[in-house]
Structure 1
Amino acid sequence: MRAMKMALILSLSAGALSAKPHLRDVAKVDRTLLAVGIADEIRKNCPSISARMLKALSVIRDVGAHARDLGYTEEEIDAYRKSDVEKDRLKAERREYLNAAGVVTDAPDTYCHLGRTEIEKGGQIGALLRMN
């Protein structure tokens, strides 16, 4: 009887420990990927701004390490990263951010203005960019 109770306790606690939120709900992971996407969009559309590629790679590596530290497997991380649903969701959020910041598609100067603003703010997006 005591062994059964112990087995039940262990199985219930293992279930509680393995219950993780979806990676989209882990703010540090999701917001970092959004910031990388925004920075990438700016650098692709503004000829006077480029990416800090080593910084971007470091940020992506760090966010993966953070997810692993939280108990996510490489398979879970890859599934999130490669998910078309998540890509579309992040793309929509990126578009909302750019629109709210006054970016106009086919107007590079608006991307450049946002890029300069982000660089001056020194936040997560600006840290991934540099003036040419």
Structure 2
Amino acid sequence: MRKLQHAAAILACATLPALAAAKPPLRDVPQVDNGLFAVAVANEIRKTCPDISARMFTAWRFAQSLEAKAKAMGYTDAEIEAHLDSDAEKARMKARGAAYFKANGVSRGDPQGMCALGRAEIQKSSQIGALLKAK
């Protein structure tokens, strides 16, 4: 029995590095996924609303911080790039954005609604609002 326990302990220790190396998909990392969502929504707002523009340097710094978080969690440049280039992830983010706009009473392509939503996000100092500025 003692030998069996010893063998189980050795096997468990041998598999720990493999378990530690397993990373969830970036879509399942809230810090990264929610950050990318904020960027996507802010981008949609600024493209639709003529009275709101992007804080480009702030957006660039924020994107850099998301990349740094992912790298600190062990994701490679190739994994990050694959996530950003994934058609499935783009479609998922677009659907998530559509749900967000609908929940806020705004439809895509509605400048008045997007402007109101953008101003509200700026007013409440949300992550989306931090990426935007009123002209």
TM-score of the alignment, normalized to the shorter chain, above 0.5: yes
Equivalent residue, structure 1, for 2:3:
none
Q: Over alpha carbons, which structure has the higher Rg? A: 2
What's the TM-score once normalised by structure 2's chain length?
0.89
Amino acid at match of 1:65: A
Shift of 1:102: 1.1
After superposition, what is the alpha-carbon deviation per residue over 1:70-117, rounded to whole angstroms, capped at 9, x for unaligned? 011111111111100001000100111011111123321000000000
Count of residue pairs the alignment pairs up: 129
Could you list the runs of 5+ residues in structure 1 that have no partner in the other structure? Answer: none
| 1:63 aligned onto 2:46 | no
| 1:94 aligned onto 2:97 | yes
Over the aligned positions, Cα root-mean-square deviation in angstroms equals 1.7
Shift of 1:7: 7.9
User: Structure 1 residues 62, 11: closer, same or farther in 2, change over 3 A?
Assistant: same
| 1:126 aligned onto 2:129 | yes
What's the TM-score once normalised by structure 1's chain length?
0.91
| 1:31 aligned onto 2:34 | yes
Equivalent residue, structure 1, for 2:4:
none
Deviating beyond 2 angstroms after TM superposition, the runs of 4 or more aligned structure 1 residues are 4-11, 104-107
Aligned pair partner of 1:15 in 13, 18, 34: 18
Could you list the runs of 5+ residues in structure 2 that have no partner in the other structure? Answer: 1-6
Equivalent residue, structure 2, for 1:111:
114
